[in-house]
A and B are shown apart, each in its own frame.
Chain A
Amino acid sequence: MKNKLSFRSLFILLMALGLLPGALTAKDVTLLNVSYDPTRELYEDFNKAFAKHWEAKTGEKLSVKQSHGGSGKQARGVIDGLQADVVTLALAYDIDAIAERGKSLPKDWQKRLPNNSSPYTSTIVFLVRKGNPKGIKDWNDLIKPGVSVITPNPKTSGGARWNYLAAYGYELKRTGDAAKARDFLKALFKNVPVLDTGARGATTTFVQRGIGDVLIAWENEAILAIKELGKGEFELVAPSISILAEPPVTVVDRVVKKRGTEVVAKAYLDYLYTEAGQEIAAIHYYRPRLESVAAKHASSFPSIKLLTIDGDFGGWAAAHAAHFSEGAVFDQIYQSGK
């Protein structure tokens, strides 16, 4: 009788061995949060708090890695394969790009969490040097000759797009004329001597390199500069009109499914909406969504009339097509302005 070796037995043996990687790779959980430029300090604190919370809840040790850069640049990184479990970017358009071009999450991702998946908000303000030597009070002061304005590149920075749209919205509201609003931006960018790729780079240019008379900045970044980067050297100026910036967050489905981090990644983002998460956001000068926390920190944030991306610009897709896509308004006014 032949002692034949069954192919089925071999298959079962190899499949059994195939289960080994899971057993051998069992280890502490890690997440990668790919975020935009100025959120470094926010997520350093938030990650520690959430890791503590997660370990208490599940017993798992969690390590959250952070990656920061211009929001558009970060989105391109994720589309190109950066293994982000979660993205916490400056604007929804960048996450839409990940959904559409990277096919990494559903197109309706923004409906998955409350408040359009924006757990905190911010706005755009001015940071000027002590004593406000150029007397800057509102957007129209930024186009005056001799005023040097620092703002990053809207092609790479989400914050810069908010800056741009706030300026454009101001002039459009004031004149009701799109052509004049466009000329206004052209004049403004003529006063911009350096275009950084991200908001943190622009802060460095203004605060540490001493360049420019005014920095158009995220409110949280401006307050951070005043309170921590250069105490007594800068002042915040709230313009008459600004824009409601809603930095969104989401899980990158393709990555978490592959890495088996779906549950912890979702819990990570949910924790941003809790009182503890909202408190951390407020401490880092982001406007909390939760009423109780917002009320507690109301005095930290100036009252400004705020435009909205949906109400005043027709949403991010329309705003991007009109202003930031190849050959759109920004390309025209920046090239011709130089």
Chain B
Amino acid sequence: MQFKQTILPAVLVGSLSAATSLFADEAAETAKELRKQIQELDQKVRILERKSEIDKEAATEKSRTAASVSARAGGFSIRSADTNFVLKLRGYIQADSRFFADDHVGGTANDTFLLRRVRPIIEGTVFEKYDFRLMLDFGSGVTASAANNSYVQDAYVTARFLPQFQIQAGKFKEPVDLERLQSGANLLFVERGYPTQLAPNRDVGVQVQGDFGGAAGSSLISYAVGAFNGVADGGSGDIETADDEKDIAARLFSHPFKNLDVDALRELGLGIAGTYGDQDGSVRSYTSIGQQRFFGYRSSATPATAANVVANGIHWRVAPQGYYYYGPFGLFAEYIVSEQDVQQAGAGTGAGTIASLRHTAWTVAASFFLTGEENSFKAVTPRNAFQPASGGWGAWEVAARVGGLDIDDDAFPVFANSATSATSAFSWGLGLNWHLNRNVKVNLNYDQTDFKGGAATDLLAKGEKAIFTRAQISF
């Protein structure tokens, strides 16, 4: 009885308590296990996140140091991540035609299609400050001679120590003629004006150059001064074969109102350039806009028996120049004087005569974008590229030009034959340029030239009337 009253309840209570305790231990154990699993899962998630973070950092680092390749309107390029090493592949092709009135007459040029310029360009930068450029030309009629390998147009290196102080060495355009310094791909007319015929083209030498107050091409003041082998008017050369003397060429160009808050004056550029040196050797003839010879010095392969004129002394040139661009309007003008000591070094009339002959040339050209683009000395990008389906018709530009080249009267009769050489040429021309996009351009020009003197030839008597076309791709 007592067992029932005392022992049994105690056993029951004890059992219940033990069961409860056992249950509590199991719950705590379960909670501990769950906590451990959560911690392990948390670690796994953190590890995955960190690995992803490290992968992203590695990818960012790689993109920061990897070279980039780009293809755009300005050309194709590969550049290191720090841009210290750059290689650009550029170039332009000009497929032209020339049609002349009266070209059936003997002595005048034929109507022709031609590849005026076919120029691959490789340029780039090494070690941040050293630029190089190699431009070749495989256009129609390009040849190599002992004094000038015309296949190599540009081959030079530029050390850009500072924007204000750079040294350039190799073969490149002498810093003289404004239109010559304009890229052949950006010309307003198919053929350049007369001043380029009196200025040097490309020559081998070393030049110091720089810009103050802005980037090259739009700086407040840019300068260039260099020493070159020296070339005849309009000529190029890459080795000196006639004498030991060197030419100095220098140019100063300014955008004087660049920093004024007057848009209409900002793109006014004025400059002056010149060369000075002593040149011996051959002299060049001068041609019309249609590239037909209208003046040539007397020359002979057998100077012992016939007249032969050579350069023989000081040659200097002065070329004031300028341009003005405002909105769609552009104006371009330059003048050049070229004086060369020459000698009739052959036999015959005036043999041994020496003279300083001073020729002059000038040009003024104006253009206007009918489609409203900003006119520029550089390449123009149409507002709307030619895509008829979407209403884009490219940029349309009209242009007009006048210019002339005047030969020193003292050239006749000793140094030139007045029957076959003109004393001056005057040209006027009209142009219509269609820029389909930044890279493709079509030109249509009409140029008419009248000559004074030299009436014995059909060309000089009747003048030249020529239509030029050009299809150009540049990149």
- Any chain B CB within 8 A of the CB of A193? yes
Say whether, besides A4-B245, A5-B246, A10-B246, A18 and B47 are in contact (CB < 8 Å): no
Contact B162 A21 (CB under 8 A): yes
| A2 CB–B CB distance under 8 Å | yes
Nearest-Cβ distance from residue B231 to partner chain A, whole angstroms:
15
Are B46 and A5 in touch, CB under 8 angstroms? Answer: no
Q: Does A197 contact B (CB under 8 A)?
A: yes
The segment out of A179-187, A204-212, A271-279 that lies at the interface is A204-212
Q: Is B56 an interface residue (CB 8 A)?
A: no
Option from B57, B58, B244, B313 in Cβ contact (under 8 Å) with A7: B244
Roughly how many angstroms separate A81 CA and B164 CA in the complex, as a whole number? 26
Q: Are A211 and B54 in contact (CB under 8 A)?
A: no
- B227 (CB) vs chain A CBs: closest residue: A10
User: Closest Cβ of chain A: how far from B211's Cβ, in Å?
Assistant: 13
Check B248 against A194 for contact (C-beta < 8 Å): no
Task: Determine if B409 is an interface residue (Cβ-Cβ < 8 Å).
Answer: no
Known contacts being A2-B313, A17-B208, is A209 close to B165, with CB within 8 Å?
A: no
- Does A25 belong to the interface (CB within 8 Å)? yes
B50-A148 in contact (CB<8A): no
Interchain CA distance A122-B54 in the complex, whole Å: 27
* Residue of A with least CB distance to B82: A81
Q: Is B277 part of the contact surface with A, judged by Cβ < 8 Å?
A: yes
Shortest beta-carbon distance from A23 to chain B in Å? 10
* B161: interface (CB < 8 Å): yes
User: Is B221 in the interface zone, CB < 8 Å from A?
Assistant: no
Q: Which residue of B lies closest to A153 (CB)?
A: B54
- The answer to whether A201 has its CB under 8 Å from any CB of chain B is yes
- Cβ of A14 < 8 Å from any Cβ of B? yes
Residue A263 is within 8 A (CB to CB) of chain B in the complex: no
Give the contacts of B254-297 with A (CB-CB under 8 A): 276-278
Q: Decide: A194 near B208, CB < 8 A? Known: A3-B314, A20-B165.
A: no
Across the interface, name the chain B residue whose C-beta is closest to A20. B165
Provide the residues of chain A in CB contact with B314, threshold 8 Å: 2-3
Does A24 make an interface contact (CB < 8 A)? yes
How far, in Å, is A25 (CB) from chain B's closest CB?
7
What is the chain A residue whose CB lies nearest that of B208?
A: A17
Indicate if the CB atoms of B54 and A2 lie closer than 8 Å: no
CB atoms of B208 and A14 under 8 A apart: yes
Contact A211 B47 (CB under 8 A): yes
CA distance A197 to B43 in the complex (A): 20
A205 near B50 with CB under 8 A, answer yes
A219 on interface, CB distance cutoff 8 Å = no
In the complex, B35 has a CB within 8 A of chain A:
no
Task: List residues 136-194 of chain A with CB under 8 A from any CB of chain B.
Answer: 148, 193-194
Chain B 226-255 near chain A by CB (<8 Å), digits 1 or 0: 010000000000000000111110000000
Q: Provide the bound-state CA to CA distance between A201 and B49, in Å.
A: 14
Most buried by A among B57, B227, B248: B227
Q: Are A5 and B248 in contact (CB under 8 A)?
A: yes
Measured CB to CB, the closest approach of chain A to B249, in angstroms, equals 11
Q: Are B47 and A194 in contact (CB under 8 A)?
A: yes
Q: A3-B314, A148-B43, A196-B54 are in contact. List 12 more A-B contacts (CB 8 A).
A: A5-B246, A5-B276, A14-B206, A14-B208, A24-B165, A81-B84, A194-B47, A197-B58, A201-B54, A210-B46, A211-B43, A211-B50
4 A-B pairs with the lowest CB-CB distances in the bound complex, closest first: A21-B161, A10-B227, A193-B47, A211-B46
Q: Which residues of B contact A (CB under 8 A)?
A: 43, 46-47, 49-51, 53-54, 57-58, 84, 161-162, 164-165, 167, 206, 208, 227, 244-248, 276-278, 313-314
A-B pairs with beta carbons under 8 Å apart, 9 shown: A5-B246, A5-B276, A17-B165, A21-B161, A193-B43, A201-B57, A209-B50, A211-B43, A211-B47
